[in-house]
Amino acid sequence: MRKTSEIGESLRIAVESLRMNLLRSILTTAGIVVGVVLVVVMGWTIGGLDAVWEQTISIIGKDMIYIDKWSWSGGGNWRLMEARKDITLRQAELLSQRMESAESVMPVVRLWSGSVVRGNTSLRCGILGTTTEYGKTSSAELNSGRFFTSIEDYQSAKVVILGEGVAKSLFSGEDPIGQSIKIISEPYRIIGVIKKRGFLFMDFVDNQVVIPLESFRSTVGMFERSVSIGIKTGSERMVDIVRTEAIGHMRSIRNVEPGQDNDFSINEMQAFDEQVKNIRIGIWTVGMGLTILAFVVGSIGIMNIMYVSVTERTREIGIRKAIGARRGSILLQFLIESSFLCVIGALIAFPIAQLIVGAARFVAVDLLDQAWASVVSPVIPVDLLMIAISVSVVIGLLAGLLPALKASRLDPVEALRYEQ
């Protein structure tokens, strides 16, 4: 009860002294403003990065493991990988037969650039041959139509599922389903279109077409092509178990001697997590460094102004003490005032941060890809604002502590005698 009335009084004083010294107070909060802007923009950037990464990871699927001759991440010895024997369709079949923990196993063969023609329009894009199981992976979520069946594969049916980019380029708005295109001069009937998944540097995934493996064999050919083996684990939790099992089988299928390194690479989206983590840490370190600097400068400013305020109000403190304010009351009054100043700083910072975030997003969407628009938040999330406010309050309490202690310890008689 006593505390509530004192907090109310303290807030009244804080507002009053802010009004009295408006310009001075606002200038004092500059450091806090910069600090809060940095925190918020940094938080938003990391949030954006995470969202983009989530989206990227879902292109392939977190539950997918690919076994390839090459490592996707570009790590490892290039010459050594070059020297590896190709992975064959036969090996993919054997693995498929032996795997027990996986949901499905599918071979994937790729021609990175092949010609696709519709009437007078032609383009070059990736051509991908695989089995019907591929249709159940997140890489093949359809916008319309259907995926091919195992019978179509078996019969080497000339059916094709278009990537979103290809569909747009060739049909620009028309419904492609049922229409015909030529893939390396062979006519194919379009039965499905895959959802847009591509994103930033990953947007090649939309510029490919998917056909049955057997059709690929007849249209494109299998000569000197290493097969990529896709393994759908069924869930993220299963990835470790499935990977271990797959490595065991692959070593035995490819006759890798015990003690020797694998002669194939395991590719997972999870492997990139490490790199993303490093980027995050990079942003944090730089951002935090700048933020701490700004907050240190800011809190020195606040501390200074609070000392001035205590001196200016020595007599007022004397009066308050004479009529019964305890040390704690005076301490509270000045702590509330300094955190109030910092909160004002945060409130000034928010629109500035929002402007920066808005501009950054505008530039990013313009420069990179419209897909950003759907993933990266255009406004600063509320929890970030809450964090920023809490940080400001803490900074205010810390910066105000020494001046507030000084005020609370003033001798009432001397304070009353103080002349401005």
Partner 1 sequence: MNRPIIEISNLVKRYEMGNEEVYALRDVSLTIGSNEYVAIMGPSGSGKSTLMNMLGCLDTPTAGTYFFNGQDVREMNDDDLAEIRNREIGFVFQTFNLLPRATALQNVELPLVYSGVGKAERQDRAKQALEKVQLSDRMTHRPNELSGGQRQRVAIARAIVTAPSIILADEPTGNLDTKTGHDIMALFRSLWEGGNTVILVTHEEDVARHARRIIRLRDGRIESDKVNPDA
Q: Interface residues with partner 1 (CB under 8 A)? A: 1-6, 8-9, 16, 20, 315-316, 318-329, 412-413, 416
Q: Which two tokens stand for residue 105?
A: 């196993």
**C-alpha–C-alpha distance, residues 333 and 397, integer Å:** 11
Q: Which is nearer to partner 1, 213 or 331 (CB)?
A: 331
Ramachandran bin of 224, using left for φ above 0, alpha for ψ from -120 to 50, beta for the remaining angles: left
**Which DSSP string do the residues of 34-61 spell out, in sequence order?**
HHHHHHHHHHHHHHHHHHHHHHHHHHH-
184-211 in b/e burial notation, b at 16+ Cβ within 10 A? eeeebebbbbbebbbbeebbebbbbbbb
In Å, how far are 143, 211, 231, 414 from 153, measured between CA atoms? 21, 8, 19, 96
Q: Which is nearer to partner 1, 6 or 206 (CB)?
A: 6
Nearest approach, Cβ of 334 to partner 1 (angstroms)? 15
Nearest approach, Cβ of 321 to partner 1 (angstroms)? 7
Nearest approach, Cβ of 303 to partner 1 (angstroms)? 24
Residue 162 and residue 209 in contact, taking contact as beta carbons nearer than 8 Å: yes
Burial class (CB in 10 A: 0-12, 13-18, 19+), 8: exposed
Nearest approach, Cβ of 409 to partner 1 (angstroms)? 9
Nearest approach, Cβ of 13 to partner 1 (angstroms)? 9
Q: Which is nearer to partner 1, 325 or 384 (CB)?
A: 325
Q: Which is nearer to partner 1, 198 or 318 (CB)?
A: 318
Q: Which is nearer to partner 1, 86 or 414 (CB)?
A: 414
Nearest approach, Cβ of 318 to partner 1 (angstroms)? 8
Q: Which is nearer to partner 1, 17 or 267 (CB)?
A: 17
Rg (the chain; Cα; Å):
32
Q: Which two tokens stand for residue 353?
A: 């941060």
